[in-house]
Chains A and B, each alone.
Chain A
Amino acid sequence: MTLNDYIYYVILPVLAFSILLIFYRFFRGPSIVDKVIALDLLITTGIGIIAVYSIVHGRSTFMDTAMILALIAFLSTVAFSYYIEKRNRKK
């Protein structure tokens, strides 16, 4: 079993299964904060999947996308928390 087979048949299905578990929390979360956390964790897992995928395909160009995704995850979480807090202050 080579490295590519191991990654393709073991690592990527496990990561996809964890994405499914996070999606369960994303759809079912009791409050809006749970959904925001699930979205953040989805993007973080997506960065890991991109890193593994760049190993499988041997192209290091995919890492740029991971960098942009990390930036967007932080910005989206900050914006969501800012507006959630502001919405409750007005009441």
Chain B
Amino acid sequence: MISIIIVILITLGTLFILLAAIGMVRMPDTYLRISVTTKAATLGVGLLLISSAIYFNDLSTTSRALVIILFVLLTAPVSAHLIGRASYFMGVKLWDKSVMDDLRGKYQKKTHVLKSKIDNTPGDNVVHDRPDNENKKED
């Protein structure tokens, strides 16, 4: 009975990690890849750790697995937010089919201050124009 539960949990976890890896290759954009890293991989690793905690049926192993799950759940959103902010300041381009950019014209390039209004001071905004938009503006 316990081995059936372990097989189910471990198969689900492995499938989620495989989906995260496929998404890492197939996603067209850096920001979409960040979302893949945060959600699918965290769920997959959590399922694998829960299955190992069930297999050993031991207080010390269970506490270690729970601590690792808690740590991964706490740190994955923080690191994804930090690396997404850094890539936005680097000027990494959005996907050319992405619909909207909420931060457009709100982050100031020199001071790194987030303003609530759109402020089009020339030379101070982070340039994020998609290649299509730049061509349209030149026309």
| Interfacial residues, chain A to chain B (CB-CB below 8 A) | 3, 6-7, 11, 14-15, 17-19, 21-22, 24-25, 30-34, 36-38, 40-41, 44-45, 47-48, 51-52, 54-55, 60, 63-64, 66-67, 70-71, 73-74, 77-78, 80-82, 84-85, 88-89
Contacts and interface: CB of A to CB of B under 8 A. Distances in A.
Interface string B10-25: 1101100110111011
Closest 9 interchain pairs by CB? A18-B21, A77-B79, A21-B21, A74-B75, A33-B87, A81-B86, A81-B82, A60-B61, A48-B48
A55 B6 CA distance: 10
Contacts of A25: 24-25, 33
A52 B86 contact: no
Q: What interface size band does chain B fall in?
A: 35 or more
Interface of B: 3, 6-7, 10-11, 13-14, 17-18, 20-22, 24-25, 30, 33-34, 36-37, 41-42, 44-45, 48-49, 51-52, 55-56, 58, 60-61, 64-65, 67-68, 71-72, 75-76, 78-79, 82-83, 85-87, 89-90, 92, 110, 112
Contacts, number: 159
Given A33-B30, A33-B86, A37-B37, A18 B45 contact: no
Given A21-B25, A70-B71, A81 B42 contact: no
Nearest to A52: B48
